[in-house]
Structure 1
Amino acid sequence: MTRNFLKITSMAAVVAFTVACKDAKNEVDATAAEDEATATEAAVTYTVDADASTISWVGSKPTEDHTGTIDLQGGLVKVNGETIESGEFTIDMGSIEVTDLEGEAAQNLKAHLEGTVDGKQTDFFNVPKYPTAKFVVTGLNDNMLEGNLTLKDVTKNVSFPVMVSYDGDKMMLKSEEFTIDRTDWGIQYGSANFTDIVADKAISDNIKLTLDVVATK
């Protein structure tokens, strides 16, 4: 009886974990890289204001979430009228911050994510080897921004909903929260799908992201 109960409980945990992953908001379907968009001669260049721009992230286990930010190093967007024709953003992978923890706990998680801990360099982003990531625009259809996202040495095409607005010489691009599957970029540490790990100890494959970019002429 006890053994059967444990089997049922374990199965329920796996099912709950799987359902939670599939219900992620605006879950991205990562596909093969596409040709980057090119701008017309009439396009105006907006330069990313790195100090005013940020990416917010949420990573999770079944029992807890961790939140944080990561900075843009720079980038540009080419706009014709109020239509984005092309662009690219460089992400500073060494700028990862953890906002739900404090002190040593926050620093330990930051170091693990960045891969600056001996023996754990390849668990997540291996920043010493891959100090930047990149997003290159491949298109904008209605409110869906499409682009090639490169993490470590893997490039995948993704699309997610954005809102673009203008105020004088300033352009603001803000995404809705969207979800990528980190394993699409080969980041498999702690994944229930790639490691022999109990479901309630696994790290979700999903990372939730929100992009908030300010750029000026």
Structure 2
Amino acid sequence: MKKIIVSLVLVASVLTGCKSEKKEKLAVKEVVEFEATTLEKYNVDTEASVLNWKGTKPLGAHDGVVSLKSGSLIIEEDELIDGEFVIDMNSIVNVDMKGSAGAGKIEAHLKSADFFDVATYPTSKFVITDVEESEDGKLDVTGNLTIKDVTKSITIPATISTEGGVTTFESKTFNVNRTDYNVKYKSKSFFDNLKDKFIDDIMEISFVVKTKA
């Protein structure tokens, strides 16, 4: 298949909860080497594009969004050729408590060094290295995901469609283990005696990226 590059800034979650043991961890592998191609820069509509997040812990869940900073999406003959998405980690928003003081606290904590340390790492990145069509006609997209100072190769489910001159790249919800990326705050994998005060290692992510018309 034709190679794709998609960069995303990937985001956050004060992880709230349900039983982490029941969530399927997304397999991570070593970084995949790939040959980048020239991109048409900044054709993504950042106002219409969003990355969604959800995190869990024993007593509940929080969810929210993160805005795109910039991006490109290249389509030829109805096939995705290249792409580059950048998400602004400083734009983390908590949706389920939006407008409350609690939402502000969650957002500030996610941006702090306990979680994504956005002062040091203002963006995250997902560079797609390969795409395969699955049996149901959807895409299995493999790429190098960078969060903070760690890069791992993962594969996520996605679809791509074009209507009215606008191309939409949309993923199903996929799981990422935050501890793979040095986000270890209140993780049972690293700290003992947390009782019910732990935060789930798994964060749920999905995204919708649209081009300008």
Per chain length, whose mean CA-contact separation is higher, i.e. which structure has more relative contact order (CA < 8 Å, sep 6+)? Answer: 2
Question: Is residue 2:98 matched to residue 1:107?
Answer: no
1:202 counterpart letter in structure 2: F
What is the percentage of aligned positions where both structures have the same residue? 33
- Give 1:56's aligned residue: 52
Going from structure 1 to structure 2, the CA distance change for 1:202 and 1:63 (only over 3 Å counts) comes to same
Specify the SS of the correspondent of 2:23: coil
8 A contact 2:19–2:57 mirrored in 1:
no
Match of 1:212 in 2: 208
Residue aligned with 1:216, SS? coil
Per-residue deviation, 1:198 = 2.5
Distance 1:46 1:113, change over 3 A: closer
Q: 1:88 to 1:137 in 2, by over 3 A?
A: same
Which residue matches 1:188? 184
Partner secondary structure for residue 183 of structure 2? coil
Please tell me whether Structure 1 or Structure 2 has the larger radius of gyration of its CA atoms. Answer: 1
Aligned-CA RMSD value:
2.1
For the pair 1:32 / 2:30, whether they are aligned, the reply is yes
Following the alignment from structure 1 to structure 2, what is the Cα–Cα distance between the partners of residues 113 and 48?
26
State the one-letter code of the partner of 1:154.
V
Runs of 4+ with >6 A deviation: 43-46
Instruction: Give the aligned length.
Output: 190
Which structure has greater strand proportion? 1
TM-score (norm 2): 0.82
User: Is 1:150 paired with 2:141?
Assistant: no
Instruction: Report the AA paired with residue 169 of structure 2.
Output: L
SS at match of 1:204: coil
- Name the CA distance, whole Å, in 1 between partners of 2:19 and 2:199: 12
Alignment gaps of 5+ in structure 2: 1-17, 134-138
Instruction: Provide the rounded CA distance (Å) in 1 between the counterparts of 2:71 and 2:176.
Output: 21
Q: Is the alpha carbon distance of 1:197 and 1:55 closer, same or farther for their aligned partners in structure 2, counting shifts above 3 Å?
A: farther
- SS of residue paired to 1:113: helix
More helix by share: 1
CA distance in structure 1 between the aligned counterparts of 2:118 and 2:79, rounded to whole angstroms: 34
Query: Structure 1 length normalisation: TM-score?
Result: 0.80
Contact 1:138 1:146 in 2 (8 A): yes
